[in-house]
Amino acid sequence: MAEQSYTDQEFKVIGSRVRRPDGIDKVTGRARYGADAFAPGQLVGRILRSPHAHAKIKKIDTSRAEKMKGVKAVITCDDLPDLTGGRGPNYDILVNCMARGTALYHGHAVAAVAAVDEPTARKALKAIKVEYKTLPHVTDVDAAMAEDAPIVQPGVEHDGKPSNIVNVSQFGHGDVEAGFAEADVIIEKSYKTEQTHQGYIEPHACLASMGPDGDGELWVTTQGHFTFRTVCAQLLGLDIAKLKVTSSEIGGGFGGKTHVWMEPLALAMSRKANRPVKLVMGRDEVFMGSGPTCSTSMDVKIGAKKDGTITAGLATLRYQDGPFPGPWGMLGGMTAWACYDLPNVQAVAYDVLVNRPKVAAYRAPSAPMAAFAVESTMDLVADKIGMDPVDFRLKNVAKEGSKAAYGPTYGPIGIEATLNAVKNHPHMKAKLGKNQGRGMACGFWFNFGGQTCTDLNIGTDGTVNLTMGTVDVGGARASMSLIAAEELGIPYEKVKCNVGDTSSLGHNDTTEGSRGTFSSGMATIFAARAAVEVLKQRAALMWEIDVEDVEWEDGAAHAKGIEHSNLAPLTLAEIAKKSPQTGGPIAGHNEVVADGAGVSFASHICDVEVDPETGKSKILRYTVVQDAGKAIHPDYVEGQFQGAAAQGIGWALNEEYVYGEDGRLQNPSFLDYRIPVCSDLPFIDTEILEIPNPNHPYGIRGVGETSIVPPLAAIAGAVSNAVGVRLDHTPMSPPRILKAIHDANGA
């Protein structure tokens, strides 16, 4: 491809650390997030949720609530008939939005009200009487796989018997048994990870407005307003074109805002009341009713020669999906071995149903857990054969041409480069003190491209409006403006980038899989190149020469050839100014399925100090090395690395869903589900590597997710080296660390 050579070119503005265009709004409080919208006559929506982990809903009596003064709509599942074609696609979303006959987890929505104000809405919820018959429940993944486990969803079968196992996936190649037979050393170990939440600071929020004519508008905090439109329109029986969805500023998502949780309820209530309805989750509802990732139980077995060559790897992974089937175990199985080039390798992954919230994507979904198990076992094998853990990984590292365990053969990839950077990093050589330990680990994420649509319009003053359809989750408008400026050859400040609503652009897939900068970047490049073609045509008209004789350079049209040497270059602004006379507005568009997302790798180093008296650990130093392909705006690339590492640190040390015997979530608050705070963390060092993705005109790889993958294992290694006992269960909270020390001393 002609574009490929572009990756070797010198960039003019790409890679500079410009100020983001939405910055002023965000530091002055003007930026409008999900809960910051108001509509005339708006009502306040509230959701009634199941107090039980698993229960038959015998009867819902809404009559008292409906009669209350100020209550304008009360809905149950009866207001949301199944329009999916009989348990068709998205039926699970419908059931999760509002229970249909059975409450499947503590916090499952059963009814909702819209009232004139918050106190009235709360009173109305109390007036709704629900008769439950509790059913046996199961919240642990291993317990859910047992023979006599309570069945979460009737109809699910495994091996011809009712079961909670909804899917078994297998990946790998070679002959694992033969591989283990060749090994000098074999290590086999089991691991567990507890359930964590994405923990975005902004709760789910929307403002829905529906008229009796079937036209509607939805303002919502989401990573994918086009997908939300499709799903909501389907579930409510609306024409897609008649539902306009606007993505608000988004206060964090990390995958949790890729899923529809409650928006159909707001639309249904608005339709029933014929008034706008604002629906905002409380923090407890966010924990109970949206987005956690899976808890897992895993076994990993690795065999190696004394020289460090791995002969075989086998991972058995059990992921719980909540009460609905998901791809989560499968993704764990695909990512488990992706860092290595192994002759004999296998991953077997189970997806298992339990009575917990519907599992959602969480930043490189499913990869951190599998990496925790595989990377921890890698450390154990290295230790057993007396090899440096970095050298051991380098010995088996995947390279260009390696066949990945999940199928593909890699192109140019960065895992070896990140490992070499770690090996040579001053952090690896720094001295450690008493009760301190160091760990390192690697991580992989696929990245994703997908459907993308971008619109670039040039004003008569030479400024540029860029409308993108992926959501700006943290600086994307700055990156897109840089890309447009680079292509057109104009200053960054001349570009204004906005996120378009669903009525102003064609479909864009959800902003997930670290695809925002990759795919919208690609569409922006092509849209700008299309606009340059128009600019050249207009310049040719102005000069009255053939367009073939016009070339674009440094933001201006130049006439080629000695015969045109009298023609001074025409700048973009000069051509734009004349556009009303030369054919009207100048624009470039691009609609693309952005294939070729480059896989991404990271390696992390972590130092931890553990207090052996209390089991409390403290992160002393943390270094992230990751391949970005090409860093468009290095500040925000570093920010992604640091944020992902911080989430991994919380997951490794502190965060977990705690369930009681009664199947109820015990800690749905930021007080009891404690994410890392400022005083918990050191500065997080970053090193950006740039191994260009040959499938992207600028070499971009997604950068958002990969760095949440290594922390669990890197920190487990550090803690284990500090206390002299291997930790195999996250979070490595003080009680778990103390228990591990005591168990080891007692043994």
Partner 1 sequence: MSGVQVSTTVNGDVEEFVCHPGETLLDVLRNRLGLTGAKEGCGTGDCGACSVIVDGQLMCACLVLGAEVEGKMVATVEGLADGNKLHPLQDKFLEHAALQCGICTPGFLVAAKALLDDNPNPTEEEIRYALAGNLCRCTGYDKIVRAVDAAAKDLRKSAGRKSSKKSGK
Which residues have C-beta within 8 Å of that of residue 469, sequence separation ≥ 6?
226, 452, 453, 454, 499, 500, 505, 506, 507, 508, 520
d(CA 238, CA 246): 17
- Least distance between partner 1 and beta carbon 196 (Å): 12
What are the residues facing 279 on neighbouring strands?
45, 206
**Which of 132, 636, 651, 698 contacts partner 1 by CB under 8 A?**
636
**By CB under 8 A, residue 70 contacts partner 1:** no
Per CB under 8 A, does 36 bind partner 1? yes
Q: Shortest distance, CB of residue 376 to partner 1, whole angstroms?
A: 23
Residue 208 interacts with partner 1 (CB under 8 A)?
A: no
Cα of 691 vs its chain's centroid, Å = 22
Q: Kindly state the number of chain residues that form the binding site for partner 1, as judged by CB under 8 A.
A: 59
C-alpha triplet 542, 546, 548: angle, nearest 5°: 120
Q: How far is the CB of 636 from partner 1 (least distance, A)?
A: 6
Nearest-10 Cα torsion for 659, 664, 669, 674: 0
- Pick from 32, 173, 305, 564 the residue near partner 1 by CB under 8 A: 32
Establish if 705 lies at the interface with partner 1 (CB under 8 A).
no
Q: Is 22 in the site for partner 1 (CB under 8 A)?
A: yes
Q: In the bound complex, what is the minimum distance in angstroms from residue 702's beta carbon to partner 1?
A: 15
Question: Is residue 677 involved in binding partner 1 (CB under 8 A)?
Answer: yes
CA 671, CA 668: separation in Å to the nearest integer? 8
Site pattern 211..250 for partner 1 (x: CB under 8 A): --------------------------------------xx
570-571 and 556-559 beta bridge pairing: antiparallel
3-class DSSP assignment, residue 536: helix
Q: Coil, strand or helix: which one is 541?
A: helix
Contacts 24+ apart (CB under 8 A), 537-541: 537/583, 538/575, 538/578, 538/579, 538/582, 538/583, 538/586, 539/570, 539/575, 541/582, 541/583
User: Using the rule CB under 8 A, which residue among 679, 745, 746, 747 binds partner 1?
Assistant: 679
Residues 468-497 that bind partner 1 (CB under 8 A): 473-475
Verify binding: residue 198, partner 1, rule CB under 8 A: yes
125/337 Cα distance (integer angstroms): 49
Pick between residue 198 and residue 366 the one whose CB is nearest to partner 1. 198
Whose Cβ is closer to partner 1: residue 316's or residue 510's?
Answer: 510
Q: Is 639 in the site for partner 1 (CB under 8 A)?
A: yes
200 binds partner 1, rule: CB under 8 A = yes
Under the binding rule (CB under 8 A), the answer on residue 33 touching partner 1 is yes
Q: Least distance from C-beta 652 to partner 1, angstroms? A: 14
Closer to partner 1 by Cβ: residue 283 or 558: 283
Should residue 521 be labelled a site residue for partner 1 when binding is judged by CB under 8 A?
A: no
Measured CA angle at 606 (ends 744, 738), to 5 deg: 25
Number of other residues whose CB lies within 10 A of the CB of residue 39? 16
Indicate whether 678 belongs to the interface with partner 1 (CB under 8 A): yes
Cα–Cα separations (whole angstroms), residue 40 to 30, 116, 217, 562, 610: 20, 12, 13, 65, 56
Among residues 2, 5, 29, 461, which is the contact residue for partner 1, using CB under 8 A? 29
Q: Which residues share a beta bridge with 210?
A: 216
Show the tokens assigned to 19.
Answer: 């100020």
Q: Closest CB to partner 1 among 308 and 704?
A: 704
CB of 519: closest distance to partner 1 in angstroms?
Answer: 19
Does position 251 bind partner 1 by CB under 8 A? yes
The CA distance from 303 to 378, in Å, is 10
- Binding of partner 1 by 684 (CB under 8 A): yes
Closest separation in Å from C-beta 318 to partner 1: 28
Residue 326, both tokens: 């998901």
Residues in contact with partner 1 by CB under 8 A are 17, 19-20, 22-24, 26-33, 35-36, 118-119, 198-203, 249-254, 280, 282-283, 473-475, 633, 635-636, 638-640, 642-643, 645-647, 669-671, 675-681, 683-684
